[in-house]
Amino acid sequence: MEDTICAIATSLGVGAISIIRISGPQAIEIVNSIFSRDIRAMASHTIKYGHIVSENEQIDEVLLMLMKAPKTYTKEDIIEINCHGGLNTTNKVLELLLKNGCRLAEPGEFTKRAYLNGRINLLEAEAVGELIKAKSDSKRKLSLNQLGGNLTKKIVNIRDMLLSLMANIEVNIDYPEYTDNLVITKNLLKNKLTPIEQELKSLVKGAKYGRIVNNGLKVAIVGKPNVGKSSILNHLLDEEKAIVTDIAGTTRDIIEGTISLNGIEVTLIDTAGIHETDDVVESLGVQKSKESISNADVVLLVLDGAKPIDEEDASLLNTVPKDKTIIFVNKNDSLIEQQIATDLPIVFGNTKELNGLDELKNKLIEYFDINNINKDLTYLSNARQTDLINKASTALRDGLKNLDDGIPVDMIESNLKSCFDYLGQIIGDTYDEAVIDRLFQDFCVGK
Amino acid sequence: MNYDIIVVGAGHAGCEAAHISAFMGHKTLLLTSNIANLADMPCNPSIGGSAKGIIVREIDALGGLMGKVADRSHFQIKMLNNSKGPAVRSLRAQADKRIYPQVMRKYLDETPNLELRQGMVEDLIIENAKVCGVILDDGTKINSKAVILTTGTYLNANILIGSENTPSGPHGEKRSNNLSFKLKELGFNIKRLKTGTPQRIKASSIDFSKLKPELGDDENWTFSFDNGPLYDKNDQQKCYLVYTNAKTHQIIKDNLKKSAMYGGYATGVGPRYCPSIEDKIVRFADKERHQLFLEPESLYYDEWYLQGFSTSMPRDVQEEMVHSLDGLENAIISKYAYAIEYDAIDPMQINASLETKVITNLFTAGQINGTSGYEEAAGQGLIAGINASLKLENKEPLILKRSSAYIGVLIDDLVLKGITDPYRMLTSRAEFRLLLRHDNADIRLTPLAYEKGAIAEEKYTRLKDKLTNIARLKEVLKTNHLKITPETKKFLEDNNISVPAGNYSYDILLKRPEFNMKIVERFLDLSAFNEDVKNQVEIEYKYEGYIKNALKEKEKLDKMEEKKIPGDIDYNKIKNMASEARQKLSIIRPLTIAGASRISGVNPTDISILLIYLKKEYGKK
């Protein structure tokens, strides 16, 4: 158990907080590299507040719980990260951990380690055996179903090109006297690899789209009571779903509806207004609104353009997540002149004359680059696949870079092999004599 | 008659096995059906080749003979892939088929504790599933504590030429008729394999003026770490390149049905890497020509080997085929090409120590284990000899890891994956080939051999000196800097080397693509260090990134290799394990968790379940 493993420990999409659990000898070192504060000297079984950061960008605001070996579930160092930023952000944190040296845990692996390290007893362990088997069977089926025909074909094609190249490099090595065979030179290899690298890059990019295609987008509509949130929802949905009145605080439950933006499913969530209230029912609604914000892919903050920005608006402007908010200034038919102090994208309009709503849709399309999502393709979608495609792409990029640095072709082949193997893991093909088979299939050599 | 160890067969595996057993102090008998054929090279007249040359270096580093004998018997040698990376460099020598066996015989004769004797083994003496000796065809019983079978292609062998099928060993030698049936009775699964060898041509009948010569290297090389070059590089024998043509292809196509393979007369499985010429023509129908090589067999007789032209066609067709080749219009064929079928055992029935799982103290090596090639055979023979000796000494066997030797890869592949066709070593089989280089075989293996008592003290001392020198050279390179002066700047510019921005130490500079040890020596006196040491250090610096990655992977694997599986484990008792995995593990019985995970059909889930079972049944480590 030399690897450090990680996984999202809470069920996906349920609850406002997601917990990522990391276990293994490098747990502290890896998390330290993506956390805003130094945790190397942190005491065991304590909690620290801070941010998950990647290249100076804050990914999420988190609470970090450190439990040092051996008094932990697995008897290894364990860190649990409480993520607050919703599913997408949690996934981002997970990807970051994978990038920095963690391996995604297999089903039941934390429990397996708990047993192997002597933490739990025999009865429990036998149950783990069943669990591992059941879960991995269903996981295998799941991941096979998740990959569409087009994507599989793409990966198969890339692997086939790599295989040809590797077999050719190998035949040059193992049968150098056969000078009739094509010799893979540095330049030839570079020419062949460059388009493959492009293809992999597009797959990496596609992995991000994959989540959007699979899960759709969530838009949370927030704002003070009676600024027209429900009207916006209704007009976008073209149906009277939310009860629209002039009385502030009408919307007490979360009201949802789904529209299709250029083929992408967008779920709109109308929240209760966020404000201080003594009404018990209404305060529940306020609580839910806050959760919706953290779970949403984008927050639509609605302001009343007919009224000056008040304290409540200003506090909303401050609390909405800076990285995923669009402002809609409603009631622009009776707009008063004022400065709205924000860098966030702003759309003006009003729900009475249906003004500005198309512009809002376009903003969303632009924001998620929806027009560039190729819907014929099934994208890589889960963290495991994303991790593997990233690794495959990195391996090939390293190969190209080293080629420029004068590393010989037969060593670059090890980068091709890594790339080939990672791609193989995505489609579940890990036969290890592929290169040798191809060599004797493609080349006529031997005494 | 009583011996510690009897080795059956005096081919490349047998010679190594017998020599090392005797060297390690055990009274050894080497039995062969014909002493005149000791260390015979029945096929190609060369030792080494890609990957195989590295195996020869490993054999030398472990105390074997093949490298030393080849160094004393070749008439041409070259470093293959010299222009490629250091990991794939490998020596190949054209060994003289007459001299090689003579030199080998001399080494064996000089080995104390070793007796050589003629005799055909047809049975084994077995008591309680333990081998206690052998029985010859005349009924003579010879007792021993251990037996090593290195029977080559002699078990139940048949020679095929066209539709002719003759019970015979290679070049008309007597075959062993009964041994493979006895092995089957004992519980071995017998496989039928096939290999082939091309025509031999009388040199005087070849028109060399029409052929392109192939020369040896203009640099001196040796296989052995123990001796310097023993030949004159300016006096090497040429080989020649020949091409097939449209006429050759037509003759083969017209006569396809007459070949043993296409006519359906053969039953054995032939090696993929050794296709017959008819196979090549059929499978690569669009190729206009195929390369062939003419190589002298010996400087002491008039016969050349036509590499690439092996076939099971009848003799009259072979005549036509050979005469269609440029330069061979009037060639006299002194030996026709033939295919040979022989029996082998299933290597999944042997342990990584090369002791069989079926019979205690019985070891097997070489073609009987399903491999092909002199070097593959010799490597196994050496390991079988070392491990038979260690077994008699009640010591742990020498098991080479995949990450430390090609021989380790070879044996690991054999015992865990089995074979479908004869196994040849290829560089791509070694996932750690960057670590398994020609240049560092001694560093990798000599300490292991020393620990097991397989090499002499002085060989180990030489290695220690080399390691000391490597460390010293590294220190020199680290502590000296290239000062950028007008002179040094001019030198670099004149040689198209980008001028460093400051005064860097030489170890840093060596990592740059355009720097090498030769350039360093323009500025720094390194005359205290030999080429071997300089080469080693240069490789370590130059490919540091790749080597580091490989070492990291090696470390991971080594840790898994440390997790041993107890020998008495009953896989049927493990709940939840998939039945395919259970079956495979029960047959193969891998020694470590790492080995188990390399078996096809055993997936990570099964490994998890196995780990949990081990913990439960065998408690804390």
pLDDT at residue A238 greater than cutoff 60: yes
Given 3.40.228.10, 1.10.10.1800, 1.10.1380.10, 3.30.110.60, which CATH number is that of B457-548? 1.10.10.1800
User: Taking a C-beta distance cutoff of 8 angstroms, is the pair B288, B233 a contact?
Assistant: no
The fold for domain B563-618 equals DNA polymerase; domain 1 (1.10.150)
Q: What is the pLDDT of residue B621?
A: 44
ipTM: 0.88
Identify which of B251, B157, B231, B156 has the alpha carbon closest to the alpha carbon of residue B196.
B157
Nearest CA distance, B470 vs chain A (angstrom)? 23
For residue A36, is it within any domain? yes
If pLDDT is split at 50, 70 and 90, which confidence band does A124 have? low
Residue A6: in which H helix or E strand, if any? strand A5-8
Cα B396 to Cα A115, B63, B349: the distances in Å are 31, 18, 19
For residue A397, is it within any domain? yes
Nearest CA distance, A67 vs chain B (angstrom)? 24
Tokens 């081919």, located at residue: B11
Whether residues A167 and A203 share a domain: the answer is: yes
As a whole number of angstroms, the distance between CA B502 and CA B524 comes to 17
pLDDT in tens, B449-508: 999 999 999 999 999 999 999 999 999 999 999 999 999 999 999 988 888 888 999 999
Whether residues A10 and A61 share a domain: the answer is: yes
Tell if the CB–CB gap between B50 and A439 is shorter than 8 Å.
Answer: no
Whether residues A223 and A362 share a domain: the answer is: yes
Whether residues A167 and A292 share a domain: the answer is: no
Cβ-in-10-Å burial (0-12, 13-18, 19+) of B358 comes to middle
Window from A18-32, A220-234, B147-161 with minimum mean pLDDT:
A220-234
Tokens 């049944």, located at residue: B617
User: Taking a C-beta distance cutoff of 8 angstroms, is the pair B103, B69 a contact?
Assistant: yes
Report chain B's terminal Cα–Cα distance, integer Å: 45
Q: Can you read off the two tokens belonging to residue B570? A: 């009953």
Tell if the CB–CB gap between B427 and A173 is shorter than 8 Å.
Answer: yes
Whether residues A291 and A383 share a domain: the answer is: no
Q: Write the DSSP assignment of B195-215 as a string of letters.
A: EEE--EEEGGG--GGGSEEE-
Q: What is the pLDDT of residue B222?
A: 97
Q: Write the DSSP assignment of A44-104 as a string of letters.
A: TTEEEEEEEEETTEEEEEEEEEEE-TTSSSSSS-EEEEEE-SHHHHHHHHHHHHHHTT-EE
Window from A58-62, A256-260, A323-327 with minimum mean pLDDT:
A256-260
For residue A143, is it within any domain? no
Q: What is the pLDDT of residue A144?
A: 44
Q: What is the pLDDT of residue A141?
A: 42
Residue A364: in which H helix or E strand, if any? helix A357-367
**Residue extents of the structural domains in chain B:** 200-338, 457-548, 563-618
pLDDT at residue A338 greater than cutoff 80: no
Tell if the CB–CB gap between B80 and A176 is shorter than 8 Å.
Answer: yes
pLDDT at residue A241 greater than cutoff 90: no
Give contacts of A118 with chain B, Cβ < 8 Å.
620
Q: What is the pLDDT of residue A243?
A: 47
Give contacts of A435 with chain B, Cβ < 8 Å.
428
As a whole number of angstroms, the distance between CA A54 and CA B98 comes to 69
Give contacts of A132 with chain B, Cβ < 8 Å.
576, 605, 608-609
A352-387 in b/e burial notation, b at 16+ Cβ within 10 A? eeeebbeebbebbbeebebeebeeebbbbbbbbbbb
Give contacts of A176 with chain B, Cβ < 8 Å.
50, 80-81
As a whole number of angstroms, the distance between CA A424 and CA A427 comes to 5
Residue B93: in which H helix or E strand, if any? strand B90-95
Measured in degrees and rounded to the nearest 5, phi and psi for residue B223 equal -75, -45
Nearest CA distance, A141 vs chain B (angstrom)? 14
Is residue A444 less than 8 Å (CB to CB) from chain B?
Answer: yes
Q: What is the pLDDT of residue A239?
A: 54
B589 Cβ contact list (under 8 Å, min separation 6)? B351, B357, B565, B567, B569
> In CATH, what number is assigned to the domain containing residue A263?
3.40.50.300
For residue A75, is it within any domain? yes
Whether residues A396 and A438 share a domain: the answer is: yes
User: Taking a C-beta distance cutoff of 8 angstroms, is the pair B214, B327 a contact?
Assistant: no
As a whole number of angstroms, the distance between CA A242 and CA A302 comes to 16
Tell if the CB–CB gap between A125 and B84 is shorter than 8 Å.
Answer: no
Nearest CB partner across the interface for B576, out of A129, A172, A411: A129
As a whole number of angstroms, the distance between CA B84 and CA A405 comes to 15
User: Maximum Cα–Cα distance for chain A, whole Å?
Assistant: 92
Nearest CB partner across the interface for A409, out of B84, B289, B616: B84
pLDDT in tens, A140-176: 444 444 455 667 788 889 999 999 999 999 999 999 9
Is residue A177 less than 8 Å (CB to CB) from chain B?
Answer: yes
Nearest CB partner across the interface for A176, out of B81, B198, B514: B81
Cβ-in-10-Å burial (0-12, 13-18, 19+) of A111 comes to buried
Q: What is the pLDDT of residue B24?
A: 98
Q: What is the pLDDT of residue A274?
A: 58
If pLDDT is split at 50, 70 and 90, which confidence band does A294 have? confident
Nearest chain A Cα to B84, which residue?
A408
Tell if the CB–CB gap between B428 and A166 is shorter than 8 Å.
Answer: yes
Nearest CA distance, A173 vs chain B (angstrom)? 6
Is residue A116 less than 8 Å (CB to CB) from chain B?
Answer: yes
Nearest chain A Cα to B307, which residue?
A447
Is residue A182 less than 8 Å (CB to CB) from chain B?
Answer: no
If pLDDT is split at 50, 70 and 90, which confidence band does A308 have? confident
Tell if the CB–CB gap between B429 and A436 is shorter than 8 Å.
Answer: yes
Q: Can you read off the two tokens belonging to residue B161? A: 């030429």
pLDDT at residue A12 greater than cutoff 60: no
Count of helix runs (H) and strand runs (E) in chain B: 20, 20
Identify which of B160, B410, B164, B175 has the alpha carbon closest to the alpha carbon of residue B276.
B160
Whether residues A331 and A356 share a domain: the answer is: yes
Whether residues A92 and A173 share a domain: the answer is: no
Window from A83-97, A394-408, B259-273, B599-613 with minimum mean pLDDT:
B259-273
Nearest chain A Cα to B557, which residue?
A2
For residue A239, is it within any domain? yes
User: Taking a C-beta distance cutoff of 8 angstroms, is the pair A346, A327 a contact?
Assistant: yes
Q: Residue A54's CB: how many other CB atoms inside 10 A?
A: 15
Whether residues A206 and A189 share a domain: the answer is: yes
Tell if the CB–CB gap between B612 and A439 is shorter than 8 Å.
Answer: no
Question: Mean pLDDT: which of A130-134, A248-252, B220-224, B599-603 is highest?
Answer: B220-224
Cα A108 to Cα A47, A65, B37: the distances in Å are 26, 21, 60
pLDDT at residue A365 greater than cutoff 90: no
B411 Cβ contact list (under 8 Å, min separation 6)? B352, B354, B380, B383, B399, B400
Q: What is the pLDDT of residue A376?
A: 44
> In CATH, what number is assigned to the domain containing residue A28?
3.30.1360.120
Given 2.40.30.260, 2.40.128.260, 2.20.25.570, 1.10.2020.10, which CATH number is that of B200-338? 2.40.30.260
Q: What is the pLDDT of residue A142?
A: 41
User: Taking a C-beta distance cutoff of 8 angstroms, is the pair A122, A129 a contact?
Assistant: no
Those residues of chain B that have pLDDT short of 70 are 619-621
User: Taking a C-beta distance cutoff of 8 angstroms, is the pair B479, B457 a contact?
Assistant: no
Give contacts of B197 with chain A, Cβ < 8 Å.
447
Q: Can you read off the two tokens belonging to residue A436? A: 């040798």
As a whole number of angstroms, the distance between CA B313 and CA B199 comes to 11
* Structural domain that includes position A180: 149-212+378-442
Whether residues A347 and A386 share a domain: the answer is: no
**DSSP-derived pairing of the beta strands A78-83 and A18-23:** antiparallel
State percent of chain A over pLDDT 90.
26
Tell if the CB–CB gap between A445 and B273 is shorter than 8 Å.
Answer: yes
Q: What is the mean pLDDT of residues A384-403?
A: 89
Total of domains in chain A: 3
Residue pairs between chains A and B whose CB atoms are closer than 8 Å: 122
Interface of A with B in 399-438 (CB under 8 A): 402, 405-411, 414, 435-436
As a whole number of angstroms, the distance between CA B270 and CA B275 comes to 8
For chain A, the average pLDDT equals: 79
pLDDT at residue A14 greater than cutoff 70: no
Dihedral angle at the C-alpha atoms of B95, B101, B103, B106, nearest 10 degrees? 170
Window from A1-5, A432-436, B438-442 with minimum mean pLDDT:
A432-436
Measured in degrees and rounded to the nearest 5, phi and psi for residue B308 equal 100, 0
Give contacts of A172 with chain B, Cβ < 8 Å.
84
Tell if the CB–CB gap between A408 and B51 is shorter than 8 Å.
Answer: no
Whether residues A33 and A63 share a domain: the answer is: yes
Nearest chain A Cα to B286, which residue?
A444
Count of helix runs (H) and strand runs (E) in chain A: 13, 12
Return the higher-pLDDT residue of A396 and A281.
A396
Nearest CA distance, A433 vs chain B (angstrom)? 8
pLDDT at residue A282 greater than cutoff 70: no
Tell if the CB–CB gap between B291 and A177 is shorter than 8 Å.
Answer: yes
Tell if the CB–CB gap between B428 and A435 is shorter than 8 Å.
Answer: yes
Identify which of B435, B381, B382, B384 has the alpha carbon closest to the alpha carbon of residue B406.
B435
Window from A106-120, A143-157, A215-229 with minimum mean pLDDT:
A143-157
User: Taking a C-beta distance cutoff of 8 angstroms, is the pair B574, B616 a contact?
Assistant: no
Whether residues A239 and A199 share a domain: the answer is: no
User: Maximum Cα–Cα distance for chain B, whole Å?
Assistant: 85
Q: Can you read off the two tokens belonging to residue B25? A: 């102090």
Strands (E), A280-421: 298-304, 325-330, 346-348
User: Taking a C-beta distance cutoff of 8 angstroms, is the pair A323, A293 a contact?
Assistant: no
As a whole number of angstroms, the distance between CA A116 and CA A118 comes to 5
pLDDT at residue A378 greater than cutoff 50: no
B455 Cβ contact list (under 8 Å, min separation 6)? B62, B63, B446, B449
Q: Can you read off the two tokens belonging to residue B334? A: 């002194």
Is residue A130 less than 8 Å (CB to CB) from chain B?
Answer: yes
Tell if the CB–CB gap between B612 and A125 is shorter than 8 Å.
Answer: yes
Give contacts of B618 with chain A, Cβ < 8 Å.
none
Tell if the CB–CB gap between B612 and A175 is shorter than 8 Å.
Answer: no
Is residue A276 less than 8 Å (CB to CB) from chain B?
Answer: no
Q: Can you read off the two tokens belonging to residue A20? A: 């990522």
If pLDDT is split at 50, 70 and 90, which confidence band does A286 have? low
Length of chain A: 447
For residue A252, is it within any domain? yes
